[in-house]
Amino acid sequence: MTMNYREAMQYIDELRPLGRVMGLESMRRLCGKLGNPQEQLKFVHIAGTNGKGSVLAYVSTVMQEAGYRIGRYLSPAVKEYRESFQVDGRNITQSGLCKYLEPVKAAAASMTAEGFPHPTLFEVETAVAFLFFQDKECDLVVLETGLGGALDATNVVEQTLAAVFSSISMDHMDILGDSLEEIAAAKAGIIKNKCYVISMQQPPEVMKVLRQAALLKKGKFLTADASRAKHVKYGVTKQSFDYDRYKNLEISMLGKFQVENAVLAVETVMALGRSGFKIPEEKLRKGLLETRWPGRFDVIAKNPLFIADGAHNEDAAKKLAESIRFYFTNRKIIYIMGMLQDKEIDKVIRSTFELASHIITVTPPAGERALPALDLAQAAREYHSAVTAADCVQEAVEIAYLLAGKDKEAVIIAFGSLSYLGELIDIVIHRDTIRRDTHGRSDEN
């Protein structure tokens, strides 16, 4: 009898303590027992420290608009666990998750019976994704690495049409290495024989590593250089730019850095065009404009403006600060922050604190990895005098609205670990809907 959804989620929770094991041996064994579903699929494989998710969203939305069946595999999910597995922008169903998890669970049990370690949660999830995409006969799968590249569970794939590199910076140094070159070398492991290799403009030492890796694999190296984007217009509802032969491309995602991500996506789509996929210009335009990505400089409410962003390391925090300075000069800024213990907490605070009038801290729902709100508040007080530790996300939202008061120019920005942003987005949207309904009724009376 197939497991039900409650049993499926229980099994997933049981795997969490296994943590993450770098290496492909276990993943290859697991896929082998499942008939190697990944061998029936073609991939765009994306690695990087920041921006992977946005690039994945742009590429998959454009390709979907062009009429292809597109699988998306991404992590972490923001609002709902099943978000990690999508075909044509729709989450896997509860029954679908159970259907594909069942054989993966059986294969994992068979591995332990043979004396091998049980696959980790990420390995199990990746195998589920491959079965799901194979069954749905996806034309292309846009795949995001979990951590690094070479030894990441997703790297069992061989049919990579394009290996794509978003912004690479210092993160997970304990696993990937403590220099940019080492981190870049780990991520360059996703480059496969004769595939397109597309990177945004990176620091010189990173570009050198990626170029050499592409050369070794006889890959065609392309640079998505955002400085070649002309007539760039930024805005809080829409942004536009010219790139290559395309004039006035529009995107709805905000943040100065989104133009860089969109340029990388455009270069990737052009490479896919050379690989046999037909992507009419109007579909490219529509796909870019239609792309949404929860929790990435995402405006979730207005009056006052409320933004959610997954900036959780120094590079992302610097980009967030740059966007705040750019869009919201001389406005009252209120932060909600939640962080994990293994992140660059001090660097994130240092990169962002001076723009805030007040900082509210929360504890993310991430078990032992979560940094308690009181500890984060203590770290923030080293730099800022107005810091409040909230007991829960709901309280943090209420405090933020109280601090904003009737100031229409105030901006609330929640950032840090994606693990708490899903709950926060639900709370804010629910609160905003009630407020608008109440105001609508009182206006009619």
pLDDT in tens, 84-143: 999 999 999 999 999 999 999 999 999 999 999 999 999 999 999 999 999 999 999 999
Q: Are residues 210 and 323 in the same domain?
A: no
Residue with tokens 């069942």: 102
Give CA separation, 259 vs 129, 251, 318, 323, 402, in Å: 29, 8, 16, 12, 34
Tell me if 44 sits within 8 A of 261, measured CB to CB: no
Q: Are residues 207 and 350 in the same domain?
A: no
* Amino acid 176: pLDDT: 63
Q: Are residues 240 and 279 in the same domain?
A: yes
Q: Which two tokens stand for residue 324?
A: 């705040």
Q: Are residues 283 and 325 in the same domain?
A: no
426 in any annotated domain: yes
* Amino acid 444: pLDDT: 41
How many Å apart are CA 147 and CA 67, to the nearest integer? 30
Q: Are residues 222 and 324 in the same domain?
A: no
* Amino acid 443: pLDDT: 44
E-state strands within 40-121: 43-47, 70-73, 85-87, 90-91
282: number of Cβ within 10 Å:
10
Considering 243, 274, 290, which residue would you say is the last residue of a domain? 290
444 in any annotated domain: no
Q: Are residues 23 and 146 in the same domain?
A: yes
List the CATH number of the domain containing 398: 3.90.190.20
194 in any annotated domain: yes
Radius of gyration (Cα) for the chain, nearest Å?
Answer: 22
Q: Are residues 214 and 316 in the same domain?
A: no
Buried b (16+ CB within 10 A) or exposed e, 288-325: bbbbebbbbbbebbeebbbbbbbbbbbbbbbbbbebbe
Q: Which residues pair with 141 in a beta bridge?
A: 43, 71
177 in any annotated domain: yes
All residues at 6 or more sequence positions from 187 whose CB lies less than 8 Å from its CB, including other chains:
47, 48, 145, 148, 149, 150, 165, 168, 176
What is the 8-class DSSP label of residue 118?
Answer: P
* Amino acid 50: pLDDT: 83
The secondary structure element, H or E, covering residue 389 is strand 387-389
Considering 248, 264, 290, which residue would you say is the last residue of a domain? 290
Q: Are residues 138 and 268 in the same domain?
A: yes
Considering 236, 264, 290, which residue would you say is the last residue of a domain? 290
442 in any annotated domain: no
Q: Are residues 389 and 423 in the same domain?
A: yes
Quick: pLDDT tens for 181-239.
989 999 999 999 999 999 999 999 999 999 999 999 999 999 999 999 999 999 888 99
How many Å apart are CA 140 and CA 160, to the nearest integer? 10
Give CA separation, 153 vs 25, 150, 383, in Å: 9, 9, 39
* Amino acid 236: pLDDT: 81
Q: Are residues 102 and 35 in the same domain?
A: yes
* Amino acid 147: pLDDT: 79
Domain that holds residue 279: 5-290
How many Å apart are CA 125 and CA 29, to the nearest integer? 15
What is the 8-class DSSP label of residue 329?
Answer: T
441 in any annotated domain: no
* Amino acid 445: pLDDT: 40
List the CATH number of the domain containing 186: 3.40.1190.10
156 in any annotated domain: yes
Could you give the strand order of the β-sheet that contains 387-389, starting from the edge strand earlier in sequence?
298-301, 305-309, 411-416, 333-338, 358-361, 387-389
Q: Are residues 142 and 81 in the same domain?
A: yes
In this prediction, the residues of the chain whose per-residue pLDDT falls under 70 are 1, 170-177, 439-445
Tell me if 343 sits within 8 A of 316, measured CB to CB: no
Q: Are residues 229 and 113 in the same domain?
A: yes
443 in any annotated domain: no
Start-to-end C-alpha separation, the chain = 57
Our count of domains for the chain comes to 2
